[in-house]
């Protein structure tokens, strides 16, 4: 669960805290608590119907075929937009790693160096989409956790050894920026689509709530400490990815940059897994296992190339990440689990629990709407500015 939760969020929380003000840390922690609660709700929904095995199954059990279609649509949107964000991160960090390197390109290749490096990075990661064995994908996930620890340690060392002095003051609150940064905070906790699979794979599913509490508490503590560290170290100059703000000449920065470059490569297969499993289930049983692997790998490879093209066309990490959080993740992490639980528990649900879940649905919907509008405006403005430039 921690492996699924930790990802791009740790790169963007310092930027979000600096832009939203230190008061916005309460929003970060509050969203973490809410998402831990909704994770618990998914477990209760699965307990009510042992036949449900996935997020989409819960949607169907609650609202029939419409619930399944809605859940599936949002899941695929989140997977697609998350992978675009990971690829943008790969692009930005690879460009920084090889900032002083000269690459000779053919005259016909109208590509920037950073674009060519990103294409090479994606091609290296492409074979991981052909993996069928969940234990192999799990191994890649553990690599992602290791990279996250390396990034956190690198930023901590930058502060501890005073490579950069932490002498910046963090503003109290920028209220007008809260809608945009709320999407960054929500995306940091996006992982609910695989929680039903985790629940079903546990030897003792009754401990799922404890797992959720420990996982979300650990991740929230990491995000909050990294956010304050980054904001204190770099102040208004902090980048939307903390690694890009670190002093480039230092070897600790090089370690952090390489860890950030490797993170997307460990995440592609993991993020793609829900779609790949659903794709295999939809294929006829008469098709051989080898043919299913080929279809799965070919579709995954094609989608990753589409994602690469989109990431190179819209290289605005913070706006794409915020839009993903506000448009998609808020529904998957907050709105849908509460709505599913209300529908499935309607005869037995108490008034206080009903009121709590209705409030959370309204809160999630409001946060999603204002965040989507704000991040969309910022993304459009950035695209227009780049076009005129």
Query: Can you tell me the distance from the alpha carbon of 328 to that of 334, in angstroms, rounded to the nearest whole number?
Result: 10
Q: What per-residue confidence (pLDDT) applies to 286? A: 81
How far is it between the farthest Cα atoms of the chain?
A: 70
Provide the residue-wise pLDDT of the chain in tens; the chain has 389 residues: 887 888 788 899 999 999 999 999 999 999 999 999 999 999 999 999 888 888 999 999 999 999 999 999 999 899 899 999 999 999 999 989 887 776 666 654 556 778 888 998 898 888 888 776 666 677 777 788 888 899 999 999 998 888 888 889 999 999 999 999 999 999 999 989 889 988 988 889 999 999 999 999 999 999 999 999 999 999 999 999 999 999 988 899 999 999 999 988 888 887 787 777 778 777 888 888 788 888 888 888 899 899 999 999 898 999 999 999 999 999 999 999 999 999 999 989 999 999 999 999 999 999 999 999 999 999 999 999 988 87
Residues in the chain: 389
SS (H, E, C) 306-337: HHHHHHHHCCCHHHHHHHHHHHHHHHHHHHHH
Query: Can you tell me the distance from the alpha carbon of 222 to that of 227, in angstroms, rounded to the nearest whole number?
Result: 8
Q: Are 114 and 227 in contact (CB under 8 A)?
A: no
H helices present in 202-288, as ranges: 208-234, 251-282
Q: What per-residue confidence (pLDDT) applies to 7? A: 79
Q: What per-residue confidence (pLDDT) applies to 365? A: 97
Q: What is the dihedral of CA 238, 244, 249, 254, to 10 degrees?
A: 140
Of 157, 125, 160, 159, the C-alpha closest to 144 is: 125
pTM higher than the cut 0.85: yes
For residue 103, what are the CA distances in angstroms to 100, 109, 176, 260? 10, 12, 43, 22
Q: What per-residue confidence (pLDDT) applies to 111? A: 65
Q: What per-residue confidence (pLDDT) applies to 46? A: 94
For residue 250, what are the CA distances in angstroms to 94, 161, 222, 232, 373? 16, 12, 23, 19, 39
Query: What does the buried/exposed string (b/e) look like for 211-236 if buried means 16 or more CB atoms within 10 Å of the residue's CB?
Result: bbeebbeebbebbbebbbbbbbbbbe
């Amino acid at each position: 669960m921690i492996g699924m939760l930790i990802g791009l969020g740790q790169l963007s929380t310092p930027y979000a805290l600096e832009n939203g003000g230190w008061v916005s840390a309460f929003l970060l922690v509050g969203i973490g608590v809410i998402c831990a609660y909704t994770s618990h709700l998914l477990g209760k929904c699965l307990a009510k119907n042992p036949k449900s095995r996935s997020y989409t199954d819960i949607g169907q059990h609650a609202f029939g075929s419409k619930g399944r279609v809605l859940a599936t649509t949002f899941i695929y949107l989140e997977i697609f937009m998350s992978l675009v964000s990971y690829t943008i991160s790969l692009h930005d960090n690879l460009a920084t790693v090889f900032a002083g390197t000269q690459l000779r390109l053919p005259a016909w290749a109208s590509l920037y160096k950073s674009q060519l490096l990103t294409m090479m990075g994606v091609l290296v990661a492409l074979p991981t989409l052909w993996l069928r064995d969940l234990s192999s994908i799990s191994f890649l996930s553990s690599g992602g956790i290791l990279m996250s620890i390396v990034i956190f340690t690198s930023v901590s060392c930058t502060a501890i050894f005073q490579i950069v002095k932490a002498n910046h003051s963090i503003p109290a609150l920028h209220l007008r920026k809260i809608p945009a940064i709320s999407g960054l905070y929500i995306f940091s906790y996006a992982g609910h689509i695989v929680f039903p699979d985790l629940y079903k794979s546990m030897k003792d599913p009754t401990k799922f709530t404890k797992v959720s509490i420990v996982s979300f508490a650990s991740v929230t503590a990491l995000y909050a400490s990294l956010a304050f560290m980054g904001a204190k170290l770099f102040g208004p100059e902090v980048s939307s990815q903390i690694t890009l703000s670190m002093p480039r000449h230092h070897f600790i920065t090089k370690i952090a940059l390489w860890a950030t470059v490797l993170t997307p490569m460990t995440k592609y297969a993991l993020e793609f897994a829900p779609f790949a499993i659903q794709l295999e289930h939809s294929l006829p049983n008469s098709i051989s296992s080898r043919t299913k692997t080929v279809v799965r790998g070919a579709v995954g490879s094609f989608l990753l190339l589409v994602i690469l093209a989109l990431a190179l066309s819209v290289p605005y990490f913070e706006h794409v990440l915020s839009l993903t959080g506000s448009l998609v993740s808020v529904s998957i992490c907050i709105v849908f689990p509460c709505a599913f639980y209300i529908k499935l528990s309607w005869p037995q649900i108490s008034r206080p629990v009903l009121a709590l879940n209705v409030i959370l649905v309204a809160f999630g919907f409001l946060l999603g709407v204002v965040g989507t509008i704000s991040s969309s405006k910022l993304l459009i403005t950035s695209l227009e500015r780049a076009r005129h430039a």
